[in-house]
Amino acid sequence: MKTPYDFSNKVALVTGAASGIGLACAQTFASGGARVIVADRQRDVGEAAVAGIRQAGGQADFLEVDVADPASVQAMVDATMALHGRLDIAVNNAGVGGRRNPTDRYSLDDWQHIIGINLSGVFHCLRSELPAMIAGGGGAIVNLASILGSVGLAGTPAYTASKHGVVGLTRTAALDCAPQGIRVNAVGPGFIETPMIANALADAAMTAHLISQHPIGRLGQAQEIANAIAFLCSDQASFVTGSYYTVDGGYTAR
């Protein structure tokens, strides 16, 4: 799907871009003329994503990254600058769901793993991306939160805490960076048909339950999230920063 927004002469970096929402974002930016960095831990899948973007006429390169490792994140940004000399757009999308367990029985290893990727990973990305954007005179960043950035869900203490943290981190970074011409926003998807919830969707009863939680009457598609992110990164959103946009089919309006 070609985006209505013009990203010509822009460099866009998307983490977790080998599949799901990240891939839809990478494809959308490329369709608008951006030079896209597809960043992911999965090299084979990421390189396949790049091949698909190029086949469709877009410009893309793959960089391997582990967002939980600050050195890996810095290397990703350094490589982006070496390739293109600038960074205009960043979508910090990489994340994991993790196992569900009540708070009192949640393992320390699972907690640290999820917080390390979903929250610390976003911080590592911001910490490396912002200096590059400041050097270039500005930019736009979108961090992926979740509907669980504003509500809770039993059995998800780490995931929910991480996504609430992303919202707070987004607002703080927006305040810190507004004078440098950098806008920072967060998007909170509802349940989207992506590989992250593939196991849940294999169960018909669970699928029906998830759909019932969305007043619009269905689950979301990755492209619908990418469309919102593209707007937030476009010049049409020039007065939007520090915001948390839920794109959730009415889930949080109940």
* Active-site hit among 159, 244, 245, 251: 159
Q: Name residue, tokens 């608008």.
A: 32
How crowded is residue 249: how many other Cβ atoms within 10 Å of its Cβ?
A: 22
Strand order in the sheet with 244-247: 59-64, 35-40, 11-15, 89-92, 139-144, 182-189, 244-247
Helix (H, G, I), strand (E, B) or coil at 154: coil
Q: Is 159 a catalytic residue?
A: yes
CA 136 to chain centre: 22
Which stretches does DSSP call E strand in 33-135?
Answer: 35-40, 59-64, 89-92
Helix (H, G, I), strand (E, B) or coil at 34: coil
Q: Could you give the C-alpha distances from 235 to 34, 50, 177, in angstroms and in order?
A: 13, 25, 17
Which of the residues are catalytic?
159
